[in-house]
Amino acid sequence: MTATHQAFEEIRFTTRDGLRLYARRYPATMGYSPLRPVLCLPGLTRNCRDFHDLALALSKATDGPRDVFTIDFRGRGLSDHDKDWKNYAVPVEMLDVLDFMACEELSGCGIVGTSRGGLVAMVMAAAQPTMLGPVVMNDIGPVIEWKGLARISAYAGRIPLPGSWREAAKLVRDMNARAFPAIAEEEWEPIARQWFNERNGVPVMGYDKEIARSLSVLDGPMPSLWPQFEAMKHVPLLVLRGEKSDILSAETTAEMVRRHPDARALTVPGQGHAPMLRDHLTLDAIKDFFAATDAAAREKAAA
C-alpha cells in the first residue's frame, strides 16, 4: 500500500482466484475514527473514481469523519481483467468484495452500492448477512426496468475511444446530457476522467469490453430480486433514485420502502441513472444517513 494522493491510499489485493484488484482507502482526517467505515461499490462499467467526492465528504466531515473504502471490480478501472468473461457476474464480484473486506477487516461496514454495486450488496445480504451494515442503494432495486437495461446493453463495450480529454468530455456530455440536465458544462470533463482510464496523457477504455458479453446473453427482463432485497431488512436502508432514471422506477422505490422496516428514499432532481454523487443534496443525505444510523446503534448498545 502506497500513498499517492493526500486524500487516499492505494490498495492492491489478490482475490481467491488470483486476480489483482485495485481499491482505495480514504482515511478519516482525525486519524483513528470510532465511526463505522463505509465501502463503496460501483456500477457495471464504472470504477472507484465515481466515489471520490463522496469519500472526501465522509472522510473529512467536520462533525464526524470516517474511513471510506472504494473498489474497482474485476475488469474495471485499475483492476486486472479476467480471461473468462463469464466471471463478470454478480456472485463472483460479491466474492471479490468479501475477499477485500476480509483483508481490511470490514465486517459490518456501511455500504454504498451504485447500480451493479447495489446488486452485489443485495446478494451479499442473502449470502453473508453479518458482513454489511447500513446500506445506500444508488438507483437500483430488486426490479430493473428492461428499457434501461437495454440502453446499457446497447452502449457497453461499443463506445468509440476519444482521442483527447476534450473529446472525451464531449462524448460523455452528448451521451448523458438528456438524462442529466442538472450537470453543468464544466463538470463533464471531470466526469469523463472518472469513466475513462488514462495512458500517456490520453483517455483509454476504463473497463474490459468483454463485460458487455455478460449483458448480451440476456433475452428478456431480469428476474426480480425481492428475496435478496428482503435479506437486507436487518439493516437501515437509504434508496436514492434519479428523477429521470430508466432503471429504478418510482413504483419499485415505493415498494422497497413499504417492505423494509427501516428504509427511506430520496429522489435526486435533474439526474438519471445513476445519480453521480457529486451534488450537495446527495452527499449531505448520505452523510446524514450514516450519522443517524451510528447514533441509533449507540443508543441501542447503551439501552
* Confidence label for 4 from pLDDT (cuts 50, 70 and 90): very low
181-197: pLDDT as tens digits: 989 999 999 999 999 99
* Confidence label for 3 from pLDDT (cuts 50, 70 and 90): very low
142-179: pLDDT as tens digits: 999 988 988 888 888 788 899 999 999 999 999 999 99
CB 7 within 8 A of CB 13: no
CB 47 within 8 A of CB 192: no
CB atoms within 10 A of CB 207: 27
- Widest Cα–Cα separation across the chain: 60
Question: Mean per-residue pLDDT for 20-28?
Answer: 97
- pLDDT of 1 over the 60 cut: no
CB atoms within 10 A of CB 282: 23
What domains can you pick out in the chain, each with its CATH number? 2-159+205-302 (3.40.50.1820)
| Identity of residue 195 | W
Which of left, alpha, beta for 277 (phi over 0: left; psi -120 to 50: alpha)? left
Q: Is 267 exposed, middle or buried (0-12, 13-18, 19+ CB in 10 A)?
A: middle
Beta bridge partners of 38: 68, 110
Per DSSP, the residues of 46-73 read --GGGGHHHHHHHHT-TT----EEEEPP
Could you give the CA distance from residue 106 to residue 259 in angstroms, rounded to a whole number?
Answer: 27
Handedness of CA 82, 83, 87, 89 (dihedral sign): positive
* Confidence label for 93 from pLDDT (cuts 50, 70 and 90): very high
To the nearest whole number, what is the mean pLDDT of the chain? 93
Give the contacts of 144 (CB within 8 A, at least 6 positions apart).
221, 222, 247, 248
Give the contacts of 177 (CB within 8 A, at least 6 positions apart).
183
H helical segments located in 43-145: 52-59, 90-104, 116-127
Question: Mean per-residue pLDDT for 42-63?
Answer: 96
* Confidence label for 218 from pLDDT (cuts 50, 70 and 90): low
Q: What are phi and psi of 161, to 5 degrees?
A: -85, 120
What dihedral angle (degrees, nearest 10) is formed by the CA atoms of 74, 75, 76, 78? Answer: 80
Task: Provide the 8-state DSSP code for 185.
Answer: G
Specify the pLDDT at position 213: 87
Could you give the CA distance from residue 165 to residue 285 in angstroms, rounded to a whole number?
Answer: 31
Specify the pLDDT at position 33: 87
CB 7 within 8 A of CB 66: no
Specify the pLDDT at position 242: 98
Give the contacts of 302 (CB within 8 A, at least 6 positions apart).
none
